[in-house]
């Protein structure tokens, strides 16, 4: 009788925590993705489940079982980068899902994973390949624009088959017919509705993963340039107005007192009920330095006028010190015009210490971020600035930084 190859029993879920032990960002991302073993694909691939709009990682157990641990982790990170860079949720060139685009997405990703992947993986600078003169560290769009013409029989030609069906790796006549070591066939199969849902979900997933990495004070192997791209993507998709409103609402505390007009649910008509008054003890410190533009101040005050319908807050103008005689309570329902009451340098210790002493529940700082890191805040603190300064902060912080888009300041 012909001897059959033994069945490989490799459960990726059992190994995931160990493989990503030193990767807080990728570990947090991994927890949101279903891992499904499948012999239908030769290696691995990510896709959107049409019925649930959830992300799935399909993997071949035999392929993973044979890899050393560093390459197992590298392949996982490769697949997660496809999600991070939105290759699965619809970031496509005008030409659509072409084999050349498949190559370019892998070149963009693998530049961050040198020495962590199987030999079959594409890499900028590979000798004897059309992309041997292309540099590392560029985006998929850049590689697409600068890719030399591929020879006949390569994946972009008539004679070569690019990945289109699950498990298809490309079968062409030329030596470049294999356009990627992993499977991209599931990218275009989900409906537009599922992709849109998954795309919105992905924003929250990446934001939470970035927060976990910041809390652990480690992004693992994520490069500084890649980290900057990830944070820029988060900030550009977040609606700063919604975040500001949510921050103020969640900073509210309940003040409970007896009320004979409310029936006590536990002892009706024996004891009086309780009445809750929710009051937001929120301080909003406004940087008065000259580098904070008038457009930025006007845009922020416009939003505060809207928020005054739901809460009362204290406005704390500062430069190198708090301008105490200009501190005021913005009462609920009031409307105010913006004004600059000082024009000095910037020190974040000043408003932080003032807010700590006066016992607020939340602290928002509008600023250009151009000063050293302040002392610890006793209340939850959030920073609001422009997109330019959000991407170029003077100091590193685990606290939330929200960017006001340029278009909002121009409207």
Same domain, 134 and 44: yes
Strand extents, DSSP E, 17-91: 34-37, 44-48, 55-59
Least confident of 2-16, 48-62, 180-194, 379-393: 2-16
Average pLDDT, whole number, for the chain?
A: 82
Given pLDDT bands bounded at 50, 70 and 90, which one contains residue 274?
low
> In the chain, pLDDT over 90 holds for what percent of residues?
42
Residue 21 is predicted with a pLDDT of: 92
Degrees, nearest 5: CA angle 219-220-221? 110
Select from 55, 92, 73, 74 the least CA-distant residue to 186: 55
Residue 168 is predicted with a pLDDT of: 38
Same domain, 226 and 353: no
Same domain, 215 and 321: no
Helix axes 99-110, 69-84, angle to 10 degrees: 120
Same domain, 16 and 46: yes
pLDDT digits (tens, 9 = 90+) for 72-96: 999 999 999 999 998 888 767 767 6
Bridge partners (DSSP) listed for residue 280: 252
Query: What's the pTM?
Result: 0.58
Do the domain assignments include residue 309?
A: yes
CATH, residue 348: 3.40.50
Same domain, 245 and 391: yes
Bridge partners (DSSP) listed for residue 35: 57
Structure tokens at 110: 């693998």
Domain that holds residue 269: 240-410
Residue 299, CA distances (Å) to 196, 262, 408 in order: 30, 42, 7
Same domain, 232 and 195: yes
Same domain, 94 and 198: yes
Number of domains observed in the structure of the chain: 2
Same domain, 405 and 283: yes
């Amino acid at each position: 009788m012909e001897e059959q190859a033994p069945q490989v029993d490799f459960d990726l879920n059992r190994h995931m925590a160990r493989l990503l032990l030193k990767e807080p960002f990728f570990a947090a991302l991994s927890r949101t993705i279903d891992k499904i073993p499948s012999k239908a694909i030769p290696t691995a691939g990510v896709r959107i489940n049409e019925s649930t709009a959830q992300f799935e990682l399909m993997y071949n157990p035999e392929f993973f079982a044979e890899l050393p641990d560093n390459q197992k982790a590298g392949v996982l990170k490769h697949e997660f980068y496809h999600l991070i860079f939105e290759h699965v949720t619809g970031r496509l060139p005008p030409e659509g899902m072409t084999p050349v685009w498949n190559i370019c997405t892998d070149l963009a990703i693998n530049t961050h994973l040198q020495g962590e992947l199987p030999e079959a993986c594409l890499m900028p600078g590979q000798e004897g390949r059309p992309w041997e003169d292309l540099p590392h560290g560029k985006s998929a769009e850049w590689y697409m624009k600068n890719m030399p013409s591929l020879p006949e029989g390569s994946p972009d030609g008539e004679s070569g088959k690019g990945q289109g069906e699950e498990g298809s790796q490309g079968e062409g006549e030329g030596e470049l017919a294999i356009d990627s070591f992993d499977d991209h066939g599931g990218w275009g199969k989900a409906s537009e509705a599922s992709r849109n849902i998954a795309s919105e979900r992905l924003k929250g997933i990446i934001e939470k993963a970035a927060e976990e990495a910041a809390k652990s004070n480690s992004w693992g192997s994520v490069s500084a340039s890649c980290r900057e791209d990830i944070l820029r993507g988060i900030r550009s998709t977040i609606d700063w107005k919604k975040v500001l409103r949510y921050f103020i609402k969640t900073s509210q505390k309940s003040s409970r007192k007896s009320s004979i007009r409310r029936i006590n649910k536990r002892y009706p008509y024996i004891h009086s009920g309780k009445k809750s008054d929710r009051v937001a003890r929120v301080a909003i410190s406004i940087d008065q330095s000259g580098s904070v533009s008038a457009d930025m101040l006007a845009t922020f005050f416009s939003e505060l006028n809207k928020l005054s319908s739901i809460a009362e807050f204290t406005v704390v103008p500062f430069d190198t010190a708090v301008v105490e005689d200009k501190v005021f309570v913005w009462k609920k329902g009031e409307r105010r015009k913006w004004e600059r009451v000082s024009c000095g340098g910037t020190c974040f210790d000043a408003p932080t210490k003032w807010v700590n002493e006066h016992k607020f529940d939340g602290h928002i700082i509008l600023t250009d971020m151009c000063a050293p890191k302040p002392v610890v805040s006793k209340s939850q603190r959030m920073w609001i600035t422009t997109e330019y300064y959000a991407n170029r902060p003077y100091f590193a912080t685990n606290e939330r930084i929200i960017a006001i888009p340029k278009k909002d300041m121009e409207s």
